[in-house]
Amino acid sequence: MMMRISSYFLYVTLFFLLLLPLGKAVAGWNSFIVNFDKSLYGKGAQTWKIAPYDDHWVYFANKNGMVQFDGNVWTVFPMNNFSDVRSVLASTTQKRIYAGGINEFGYYEPSEDGELVYHCMSDTLERDCRFVGNVWGIHEADNILYIQGDDRVVKYLNGKYTAIEMNAKIDCSNMVNGILYIGTDHGVWVLVGNTFFPLQGADILASNRIRGIIPHKGGGVIVVTAYNGLFYCNGRTTVPFVTGAEDFMCENEVFCVAAQDDKIALGTIHKGLLLIDCSTMDVKYFNENNGLRNNTVLSVAFDSRGNLWAGLDSGVDYVSLSSSFTNLYSYPYSYGTGYTAAMEDGYLYLGTNRGLYYTSYPVRLNGNLPDIHPIPQSSGQVWNLCKIGDDLFCLHDRGIFQIKGTNMYRITDITGAWYCQEVMGYPDRMYVGVYNGLYLLEKQSGEWRVLCKIDGFQDSCRLFEQESAKVLWIYNSGSITRVELSEELTRQISVKSYGVEEGFPVERQIYVAKIEGRVYFTTPHGIYKYNVHKDMMEPCSDLNNLLNGAVPYTRLLEYHERLISLSPHEICIANLGTYKRGANTSINPIRQSFLELGQDYEAIIPLSDSLMVIPNEEGFALFTVPEVRHRQDLTHSVYIRNMYLTYPKDSLVYTANFLGKKPSLLVDYTSNSVRFEYGLAFFDLDGDDIRFQYRLNKGVWSDYTTVRIKEYSNLSEGDYTFEVKVIYPDGTTSSDELSFRILPPWYRSVAAYVCYIILAFLGLWYIYRWDDIRVKRKKEQAVVEKDKELHEMEKEFEADKARREKQIVQLEKEKLEYDLQHKSQEMANLMINFVRKNEMLTEIKSEIIKVASSLRGEGAREGKQLLLVINSKIDSNIQSDEVLKRIEDQFDLIHNNFMKRLHVRHPDLSNNERMMCAYLKMNLSTKEIAPLLNISVRGVETIRYRLRKKFGLEREDSLTDYLSNQL
């Protein structure tokens, strides 16, 4: 039985060896590789897994977290426990990005603003299966999620987890045709239900270290081992899958694998990438020698374009496998900047700024490097390689050399040669353009000799084309000159420069070419031709339409009835022999991130109908004309990356996401200043020739710009749509848009208007109520006014009554005052009369005494007695105190008890002093008072003085006022 199995394996192995080439390196050039340094995504070193989502979005399991690349910007999303992310799965069915770390796994989904939000799933695991170790793989099939740890697989279905233990160390896993395969240190197993079963017929793999399991297009799987190559398993038997690179795998340890269509990519620990084309068994190597940044490859993945991502021990690389362009060499194995190339006798000659080199053609790789050798004595600047007849010439800074095999020989003593060309109609003659003029050479006896230097022409002759043998169009530093020579071709007859005034659209960047026997000129605005009748330049619509319109062209050449044009952004190939011109035009974009052409030394050298060499700043690129001619779909290449609110500070409200989810953005009026960031994905065309336009709300498109940021400030409320459009040099456009709404200010918001309506109704109700209350109040006011009027009338009546009573009182007072005054006057008059009576009686008394004393005789006695009786009666009238007493009582009655009050306040006053006060109260003068008191005027003054002293009056105080006001 063992003999049969061994014979079977030997047979299958011999079958593969006979059918397939044994691991030969592709006799082609190297694909372009773009290096992404780890500093772009947070300096996370190892990248363990890669998961492209679509044409733009790629996700990486990195040491620092889950890394997202949107084709433009790298973003790191750490896990909850900040562990290394070991695996990542871009689920197109669940629209999620699953990620697994160390004892943790979950998924990322875009939030409303597009930002990815992490949802941890492992937190819901039961305690006994919580520690899954390193999650090296996440797979899904039939709505079941599989999480592969170090020694178990966790199944997730309908919200429930099932942990399935494996009695071995799990090294890798993969979902193939709905079946989960796992590679362990005990061979390959498959998961059926909740049980692991060994893969049938794969017992020989039990001792191998399994690195990956990939599907085989014929059914079954291919198992990748670390040291022993690849094996094909069909579920019954396992045989080696021979590639011819088994020794390479054994020496460098395979670590990861990815497959797409007929291609298998293997990442190694020590020597970079290995790419196997299973349809031809061609093998390509990518390592530090031909552009890879690091030789330790931890993960590989193909994207939807057929290109290859490689996660390295430090950094990430992108290998452009699907590009029509490949490069011959790269840094640090560089041979200089490429200027020209030529193929002759099985050799490919390469002219650079360092000299002339050669390699066999087709180019064979010596390991990873092309087998390139320098031609002896060629060091220096090589400008051109030109073939005239059977001779190949090298135009060098040191002169013109003829190339023979792997050597070159200087001809003539010319120095500083630019370009040479056979003279029309003279197969044994050629023009040679040099730094300071033009030479005419002739082949004599098999040797090229200088006939002469063209007399009169001293300008540099960088490139030229012949209108005829004696009329040359010369290009130098971007300008065009027409030179006419003599019949002998030895001297210049006339020279004229052509620029804008002569019909060209620009003064510089004009190149000369000859197509189908006629001279044409390439410009930044299309192809022009010379109108000999007008002596002017005019656009050539025929060639423009045959190619890609009036776009910038830098080189134009004819090859095998094909018209080939070169520009910094594309190569156009048109068939000159087709009836419908332009129908079979092939337009092939050039990615400037891969290929950067020089400005003054652009060239394109056809090697065949399908291969062309393009010298460039990095060396030489090989362009393979695609078999299927189609334009790259760039309709969705531009995208709005971010939208920020810029006031009062930057606030991100939208970011692009892998689902293309665009929320309904509502912006507060207080934050009505916004900024948009837009751009192109790395995977699409890019360069200085790319122009953008933008507009807001279907307005006028802006002027062309290379700026990728646009800000708007102080936007009014309303709905807005921001649109951005990219215009590629070939006229292709792509656009994206984002809608948002600026909410009105709070006083113009819906809530505010509802409040306004409520307030309006409340106002109307208030007005109605106010009017009702006003009417009631008016009625009440009328009653109140009536009552008030009555009250006022009553008050007026009362006031009038009071006024009248007051008037009556006043009149009575006045009457009383008048009566008082009258009484006082009467009293005064009475007292005066009384005084006068006393005076008169005193005088009469004096006269009586005189009469009595004069009486003599007998009758005198009786007379004297009568006189004495009369005298006594007079005395009784003079000393009548009762009268005075009555007068005093009457005075008190009139003057409100003045005398009593005076006695109470000043009880020490004498009778005369009291009477003095009464007389002063009555406003009697000093002269009137003196007789009343029966004293002199001087005595009155003395009494007044004593009164002032007793009353305590100062010198300035009035005694009369005191008596009138104080008593």
Does residue 471 sit in the same domain as residue 484?
Answer: yes
pLDDT at 878: 60
Does residue 872 sit in the same domain as residue 901?
Answer: no
DSSP secondary structure letters along 663-683: --EEE-GGG--EEEEEEE-TT
Angle at 512 between CA 508 and CA 513, to 5 degrees: 155
- How many other CB atoms are found less than 10 A from the CB of residue 719? 9
Flag whether 92 is in a domain.
no
- Is there a contact between 60 and 52 (Cβ–Cβ < 8 Å)? no
CATH of the domain at 421: 2.130.10.10
pLDDT at 879: 52
Does residue 512 sit in the same domain as residue 449?
Answer: no
Flag whether 100 is in a domain.
no
pLDDT at 280: 87
Q: In what order do the strands lie in the sheet with 221-225?
A: 210-215, 221-225, 230-233, 238-241
Flag whether 153 is in a domain.
no
Q: How far apart are CA 362 and CA 668, in angstroms?
A: 66
Please count the structural domains in the chain. 6
**Final residue in a domain of this structure, among 271, 306, 322:** 322
Q: How far apart are CA 183 and CA 238, in angstroms?
A: 15
Flag whether 311 is in a domain.
yes
Does residue 701 sit in the same domain as residue 660?
Answer: yes
pTM of structure:
0.73
pLDDT at 858: 64
- Is there a contact between 358 and 350 (Cβ–Cβ < 8 Å)? yes
272: containing domain:
1-36+242-322
Flag whether 115 is in a domain.
no
Flag whether 180 is in a domain.
no
Does residue 333 sit in the same domain as residue 481?
Answer: yes
Does residue 446 sit in the same domain as residue 462?
Answer: yes
CATH of the domain at 922: 1.10.10
DSSP secondary structure letters along 402-459: EEETTEEEEESS--SEEEEEEETTEEEEEEEEETTEEEEEEEETTEEEEEEEPBT--S
pLDDT digits (tens, 9 = 90+) for 353-394: 999 999 998 887 766 678 899 999 999 999 999 999 999 999
Q: Pick the closest to residue 730 from 668, 799, 637 (CA basis).
A: 637
Q: How far apart are CA 461 and CA 482, in angstroms?
A: 12
**Final residue in a domain of this structure, among 864, 879, 894:** 879
Q: How far apart are CA 344 and CA 684, in angstroms?
A: 36
Specify the DSSP element, H or E, that contains 326.
Answer: strand 325-327
Does residue 555 sit in the same domain as residue 480?
Answer: no
Does residue 916 sit in the same domain as residue 936?
Answer: yes
Flag whether 203 is in a domain.
no
Q: Phi and psi of 473, rounded to 5°?
A: -105, 115
- Is there a contact between 874 and 866 (Cβ–Cβ < 8 Å)? no
Q: Which residue has the tokens 């109605």?
A: 768
**Final residue in a domain of this structure, among 570, 599, 628:** 599
Does residue 891 sit in the same domain as residue 919?
Answer: yes
Does residue 581 sit in the same domain as residue 649?
Answer: no
CATH of the domain at 697: 2.60.40.10
Q: How far apart are CA 506 and CA 809, in angstroms?
A: 122
pLDDT digits (tens, 9 = 90+) for 702-759: 998 888 999 999 999 899 999 999 887 666 788 999 999 999 888 888 888 889 899 9
Does residue 409 sit in the same domain as residue 296?
Answer: no
pLDDT at 29: 84
Does residue 962 sit in the same domain as residue 843?
Answer: no
Tokens of 643: 């939208």
Q: How do beta strands 665-667 and 733-742 pair?
A: parallel
Residues of the chain with pLDDT under 50: 1-27, 579
Flag whether 687 is in a domain.
yes
